[in-house]
């Protein structure tokens, strides 16, 4: 059972309530595919990923970035039970999508960079610590059903 | 994952923008390393104050980022150019190289915060590759 401080809960709610999903989702996924190009292996049917410009402008990637971020929003809404919330998603990523869990961390890092760019100085060290702890818990829950 | 000509140009251009703010960025990156990854504090048990506002954190953040800036000048031969620094880290400081990834991550976060428009995905990948190469060069003399 994960212990959250009041500050951590408030910070996560704050970030996700004020999140611009239409910008942060697409930008995070696109950034991941550009910075860690091997992650493109999971997006063979997503159209043109030839270069950074193509990835940034790809509407299928943009749509999927929003899907992923809304998935994280579910965890933010269920912070005391992320494990159960993600049980089915974990099976999906393992059994159907066959995603190497190391990729979750890579996407998480890109999301952190995009959120930092959005929030600027408001992304204090304390906020960063809370956000990264949240991501670590979400990632761990997403890995849980792998076998 | 070695540096292409395009990577080197992106790195030199971006760090040209970093240089005037080296003190702030260095301090922020080190402060976040110590705060978000508390295990890194073990290397600084001799400091009185490990908080983000500490004068020692400010001074050392500057030292570290100046080191990275000097690596930009040595980008065509990082292993050779950083030999002395590698010996320092390997034999004297004995910082576990896993920590290089941590400070690199926090440098990227601070770059994104301070240069939201310049730190594009293309610049991000070149800078990430560069920092990884610097880390490898720094770890060269470890064993």
Give per-residue pLDDT as tens, A18-49: 999 999 999 999 999 999 999 999 999 999 99
Q: If DSSP states are collapsed to H, E and C, what string results for B85-104?
A: HHHHHHHHHCCCCHHHHHHH
Q: Does residue A1 carry a pLDDT above 90?
A: no
**Into how many domains does chain B fold?**
1
Mean pLDDT of B24-47: 96
* Size of chain B in residues: 143
What B44-48 contacts at long range (C-beta under 8 Å, 24+ apart), as own/partner pairs, is: none
Asked if A135 and A80 count as a contact pair (C-beta separation under 8 A), the reply is no
How far is Cα A101 from Cα A93, in angstroms, rounded to an integer? Answer: 9
Mean pLDDT of A111-131: 98
Asked if A125 and B52 count as a contact pair (C-beta separation under 8 A), the reply is yes
* Confidence band of B10 (pLDDT split at 50, 70, 90): very high
Please state the domain extents for chain A. 12-143
What B82-90 contacts at long range (C-beta under 8 Å, 24+ apart), as own/partner pairs, is: B82/B134, B82/B137, B82/B138, B82/B140, B83/B140, B83/B141, B85/B138, B86/B137, B86/B138, B86/B139, B86/B140, B86/B141, B86/B142, B87/B141, B89/B138, B89/B139, B89/B141, B89/B142, B90/B139, B90/B140, B90/B141, B90/B142, B90/B143
To test the contact with chain A by mutation, choose from B4, B109, B115, B123 the residue with the greatest count of A C-beta atoms within 10 A, namely: B109
B120 to chain A: nearest residue by CA? A31
Q: What is the CATH number of the domain that holds B101?
A: 1.10.490.10
Give the mean pLDDT of chain A: 96
Structure-block tokens of residue B90: 């390997």
What is the four-CA torsion angle of B73, B37, A5, A67, rounded to 10 degrees?
60
Task: For chain B, say whether A40 makes contact (Cβ under 8 Å).
Answer: no
Of B23, B6, B13, the closest CA to residue B129 belongs to B6
Structure-block tokens of residue A60: 């299928």
Domain of B67? Answer: 5-139
User: Yes or no: is domain A12-143 CATH 1.10.10.10?
Assistant: no
By the 10 Å C-beta count (0-12 exposed, 13-18 middle, 19+ buried), B8 is classed as middle
Place of tokens 């809960």: A9
A56 to chain B: nearest residue by CA? B121
Mean pLDDT of A53-61: 97
Pick B36's closest partner by Cβ from A55, A118, A128. A128
Mean pLDDT of B86-114: 96
Question: Contact B121/A119, CB-based, under 8 Å?
Answer: no
Question: Contact A132/B116, CB-based, under 8 Å?
Answer: no
Mean pLDDT of B18-22: 97
Structure-block tokens of residue B40: 């890194």
To test the contact with chain B by mutation, choose from A128, A130, A131, A133 the residue with the greatest count of B C-beta atoms within 10 A, namely: A128
φ, ψ at B133 (rounded to 5°): -65, -40
pLDDT recorded at residue B1 = 86
- Alpha carbon B82 to chain centroid distance? 13
What is the four-CA torsion angle of B102, B106, B112, B115, rounded to 10 degrees?
-130
How far is Cα A45 from Cα A7, in angstroms, rounded to an integer? Answer: 41
């Amino acid at each position: 059972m994960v212990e959250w401080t009041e500050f951590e809960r408030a910070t996560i709610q704050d970030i996700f309530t004020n999140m611009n999903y239409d910008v942060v989702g697409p930008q995070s996924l696109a950034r991941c595919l550009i910075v860690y190009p091997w992650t493109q292996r999971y997006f063979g049917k997503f159209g043109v990923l030839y270069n950074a410009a193509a990835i940034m402008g790809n509407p299928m990637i943009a749509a999927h970035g929003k899907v992923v971020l809304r998935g994280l929003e579910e965890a933010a809404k269920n912070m005391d039970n992320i494990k159960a919330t993600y049980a089915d998603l974990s099976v999906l990523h393992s059994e159907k999508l066959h995603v190497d869990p190391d990729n979750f961390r890579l996407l998480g890092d890109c999301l952190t960079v995009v959120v930092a760019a959005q929030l600027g100085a408001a992304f204090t060290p304390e906020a960063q610590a809370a956000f990264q702890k949240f991501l670590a818990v979400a990632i761990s829950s997403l890995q849980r059903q792998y076998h | 994952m070695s540096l292409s000509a395009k990577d080197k140009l992106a790195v030199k251009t971006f760090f040209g923008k970093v240089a005037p703010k080296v003190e702030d960025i260095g301090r922020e990156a080190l402060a976040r390393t110590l705060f978000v990854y508390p295990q890194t504090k073990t290397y600084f048990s001799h400091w009185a104050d490990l908080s983000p506002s500490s004068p020692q954190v400010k001074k050392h953040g500057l030292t570290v980022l100046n080191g990275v800036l000097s690596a930009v000048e040595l980008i065509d031969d990082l292993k050779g150019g950083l030999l002395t620094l590698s010996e320092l880290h390997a034999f004297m400081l004995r910082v576990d190289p896993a920590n290089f990834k941590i400070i690199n991550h926090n440098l990227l976060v601070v770059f994104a915060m301070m240069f939201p428009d310049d730190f594009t995905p293309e610049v991000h990948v070149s800078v990430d590759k560069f920092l990884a190469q610097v880390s490898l060069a720094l770890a060269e003399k470890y064993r």
